[in-house]
Amino acid sequence: MSAIIKAYQLNQAGPAIELQAVMLAAPVPGPQQVLVQVVAASLNYRDLLTLRGQNGDFADQLVPLSDAAGIVCAVGSAVTRWQVGDRVMSSFFRDWHSGPFKQSYLGAALGGGQTPGVLAEQVVFEQHALVAVPAHLSLAEAATLPCAGLTAWNGLFTRGQLRAGETVLVQGTGGVALFALQLAVAQGARVIVTSSSDAKLQRAKALGAWQTINYRTHPNWHELARELTGGEGVDHVLELGGLETFERSIAALAAGGRIAQIGVLSGFGASPNVQSILFMNASINGVCVGSAEQLNALAAFMSTHQIKPIIDREFSFAEVPQAFAYLAAAEHFGKVLIRLDQA
């Protein structure tokens, strides 16, 4: 096992934050910890916010990213859940193993605040903060599940209780959106996808989308969503846009419907008018990823339905800055991946 590993860190350089390639001493697992040789990691919009200084304070020299998959290469003396050679993926929240969410878990989200992330050749994890990789997935594919896949699962299934025959509106074609599309289709739901790109909407159709809406062609897309559902509205909205889309999401919602509030792609701002939620007996669920237990449930569902994540593009470890820039350009369809097993 190497005594030195490659990694990336975020360093404050005056008003700017720099992403720097570094060499670090290889970590050593404690009694309850597991050492993982990371094969692949994936990027999320949260990682862009952190790099831009828009995701709160973080420790200097923080290793970024939350999502990774790899091979167990050493275990602590008290570890009972894993053995060398196991294929594992990280859980976004180090301390949220199961049960309801607690505010204290936020500080232990990987790759943010004071908790180191996964953008390194080797990473130490608490044994309960790892989940087995489904047999039908490669490690690269599994590296896309811990944040984006789990967020879609929690929003639609754990919190949303999605049932066959219901209608889901998904905003965009990024990682969370496409996971939501694939999972909802497998559940037997009808999915409407919105995007500004007809080419991306065609690809969404090929993945099973029931209807698609180009929101540039139809800026009042909430009205078209109601028309497509016979005036009833949609049962679920995966709300990823934030400030600019929220009131339209409410207007598209059916009586008794649910909004999974996830994203802030259009920025933060004043609260929208939610009065109609009251009179429709509808609900808004704030969704912040999920627990290791929920990630296990997602993995089982994906195994049952043989679902494979959509990976837009892969970058080598040396190309991490280019991977961040590519994600920022917002041209991707699915997940952006970093391979650590490539030069």
DSSP letter string over 321-334? HHHHHHHHTT--SS
Question: Does an H or E element contain 192, and which?
Answer: strand 190-195
* Cβ 7 vs Cβ 26: under 8 Å: no
The confidence band for 192, taking pLDDT boundaries of 50, 70 and 90, is very high
pLDDT (0 to 100) of residue 343:
46
Distances (CA, A) of 225 to 162, 184, 229, 236, 242: 18, 17, 6, 12, 18
Fold for domain 160-286?
Rossmann fold (3.40.50)
200-222 pLDDT, tens digit per residue, is: 999 999 999 999 999 999 999 99
The confidence band for 342, taking pLDDT boundaries of 50, 70 and 90, is low
Q: What is the pLDDT averaged over residues 166-185?
A: 97
* Residue indicated by tokens 């060499």: 23
pLDDT (0 to 100) of residue 265:
47
Q: Where in the chain is the domain with CATH 3.90.180.10?
A: 4-147+290-339
Say whether pLDDT at 272 is over 70.
no
Half-sphere exposure at residue 326, Cβ-oriented, CA atoms within 13 angstroms: 19
Average pLDDT, the chain: 93
- Stretch among 144-148, 294-298, 328-332 having the lowest mean pLDDT: 328-332
Say whether pLDDT at 229 is over 70.
yes
The C-alpha atoms of residue 4 and residue 199 are separated, in whole angstroms, by: 45
Segments of 14-55 assigned E as strands: 16-25, 33-42
pLDDT (0 to 100) of residue 162:
98
The confidence band for 113, taking pLDDT boundaries of 50, 70 and 90, is confident
The CATH class of the 4-147+290-339 domain is: alpha beta
* Cβ 75 vs Cβ 92: under 8 Å: no
pLDDT (0 to 100) of residue 266:
43
* Cβ 289 vs Cβ 196: under 8 Å: no
Q: What is the pLDDT averaged over residues 299-316?
A: 98
The confidence band for 56, taking pLDDT boundaries of 50, 70 and 90, is confident
Q: What is the pLDDT averaged over residues 156-178?
A: 97
The confidence band for 264, taking pLDDT boundaries of 50, 70 and 90, is low
Distances (CA, A) of 322 to 7, 23, 143, 298: 16, 20, 19, 30
* Cβ 260 vs Cβ 230: under 8 Å: no
The confidence band for 13, taking pLDDT boundaries of 50, 70 and 90, is confident
The C-alpha atoms of residue 4 and residue 17 are separated, in whole angstroms, by: 25
Start-to-end CA span in the chain (Å): 18
pLDDT (0 to 100) of residue 214:
98
- What is the percent of the chain where pLDDT is above 70? 95
What is the torsional sign of CA 86, 91, 96, 99? negative
Say whether pLDDT at 252 is over 80.
yes
* Cβ 145 vs Cβ 307: under 8 Å: no
Per the structure block, which two tokens stand in for 61?
A: 């020299």
* Cβ 294 vs Cβ 300: under 8 Å: no
Residue with the bigger pLDDT between 15 and 31: it is 31
* Cβ 203 vs Cβ 133: under 8 Å: no
pLDDT (0 to 100) of residue 268:
47
Q: Where in the chain is the domain with CATH 3.40.50.720?
A: 160-286
Say whether pLDDT at 29 is over 80.
yes
Please give the model's pTM, rounded to 2 decimal places: 0.94
pLDDT (0 to 100) of residue 1:
54
pLDDT (0 to 100) of residue 271:
60
* Cβ 338 vs Cβ 314: under 8 Å: yes
pLDDT (0 to 100) of residue 205:
98
Work out the angle at residue 66's Cα, subtended by the Cα atoms of residues 179 and 162, and round it to the nearest 5 degrees.
30
pLDDT (0 to 100) of residue 241:
76
